[in-house]
Amino acid sequence: MSSILTNTSAMVALQTMKGINANLNKTQADISTGKSVATAKDNAAVWAISKVMESDVQGFKGISDSLSVGSATLTVARNASESVTKLLTEMKGKIVAAQAENVDRSKIQTDIVALRSQVESVVGAAQFNGLNLVDGSQTSINVLSSLDRSASGVASSNIQVTAQNLSTDAGTALSGTSLGTLSGATIAGAATGTLGSFGIQGGAGALASNASGANPATLTSLIEGDAIELKVGSTVGRYVVKEGDTNTELAEGLRNALTQGGLNGSDFTLSATGGVLSITNNTNVTTAVSVTAARGEGGLAGLGTIDVTSDPAAALTDIEGLLQTSINAAASFGSAQKRIDIQSEFVGNLTDSLKTGIGAMVDTDMEEASARLQALQVQQQLATQALSIANQQPQGLLSLFR
């Protein structure tokens, strides 16, 4: 049946043209924006994923900046430690020269004092944006290193860098009922002397110097950075407390320091029981023993007591320990900086991978879009022609009324 009121062919042609025009508009938008998923209505799920990933990319840019600042800070600290090591090495050479009998030790001591002043200058100037990792003002810093996303949410990760105290500050002497006591100035042969409660109370690990409970005004147990100096006869052993040290590690550290200083390890025994440090004289000779402790002592505090004019042998022993302190500091900073640089490279590669993934989801395939555009343009022309033909069909009904 033919009708002049309802032209089915024209309606079909019109709907077809509308669909072609909609696809053509979408293809043109894809080409002009470069994105196949530009808004949430294009593909809600893919758009949501891409926006989350784009936010992560921005977060990683901030992390990359943080790692760059952290690496620069460590570069300053490492260079300072290496410079101090070089100065101490030069100082050691002069101290070795002072061991000879026919040298002017007073002039050598003048050079040593000058080198000590230069060490203090290097340590004081080794700051980056006001942060100094070698003067004892910091215990550790956290460098923002990663953004970790999981099913439960997102969290940031840090790389903790331990500061190194290369200052020459002598620190504040510790004294009182729990610290600084010693039962007797001498210990007879085969006898035991109590050195006082220099250990960590209750046997727990030593607190970090910046911990909430590490209040120098009230705390009587040892914390990170405290230094204990034990003198047995003429041999001096010095140990700096580290975070987490127990009484056992404290006793072992002092024992190693004394044996490195030349004391025979079989001549004495150090023990730590119930937070109390004791020494036993294993010889038949009465031996003088003294002990001191200081809070916040710098790692190079011993530089202030080096004097080749009065005791060149002791100066050589002291400089060896101080040199090891600066070498350890430089090595620690070097290891931390290497880790930060590796993480920085990883973050850069990860950011590139995320961008690639986002592009794969939402970017327009330009080759495919070009081919689709040409096909749709042809379809549009054919649809226009088909609609024109459909609109002319009612004209044929006029022949029925002639």
Residue 118 is encoded by which pair of tokens?
A: 């230069």
pLDDT value for 183 = 43
Q: What is the DSSP letter of 201?
A: G
- pLDDT, tens only, 33-92: 888 888 888 889 989 998 888 888 988 899 999 999 999 999 999 999 999 999 999 999
Strand 287-295 to strand 153-162: parallel, antiparallel, or no bridges (unpaired)?
unpaired
User: In terms of pLDDT, which residue wins out, 153 or 90?
Assistant: 90
Q: Nearest to residue 299, comparing CAs of 211, 208, 169?
A: 169
| Mean pLDDT across the chain | 83
Mean predicted confidence (pLDDT) in 326-332 = 92
Asked whether 119 and 87 are in contact (CB, 8 A), the reply is yes
Mean predicted confidence (pLDDT) in 212-230 = 71
Q: Residue 255 and residue 261: Cα distance in Å, rounded?
A: 10
Asked whether 379 and 1 are in contact (CB, 8 A), the reply is no
Q: Residue 148 and residue 116: Cα distance in Å, rounded?
A: 46
Q: Nearest to residue 293, comparing CAs of 169, 136, 175, 165?
A: 175
Asked whether 394 and 4 are in contact (CB, 8 A), the reply is yes
Domain ranges for the chain, please list them: 47-164+330-355, 172-297
pLDDT value for 336 = 93
CATH 1.20.1330.10 fits 47-164+330-355, yes or no: yes
pTM metric for this prediction: 0.66
pLDDT value for 184 = 44
Q: Residue 29 and residue 16: Cα distance in Å, rounded?
A: 20
Residue 151 is encoded by which pair of tokens?
A: 């099913």
Q: What type of residue sits at position 109?
A: Q
Q: Residue 112 and residue 91: Cα distance in Å, rounded?
A: 6
Burial (CB count within 10 angstroms: exposed 0-12, middle 13-18, buried 19+), residue 33: middle
pLDDT value for 233 = 83
How sure is the predictor about 289, in pLDDT bands with cuts at 50, 70 and 90?
confident
Radius of gyration for the alpha carbons in the chain, expressed in angstroms and rounded? 39
Residues whose CB falls within 8 Å of the CB of residue 386, separated by 6 or more in sequence, listed in order: 13, 16, 17
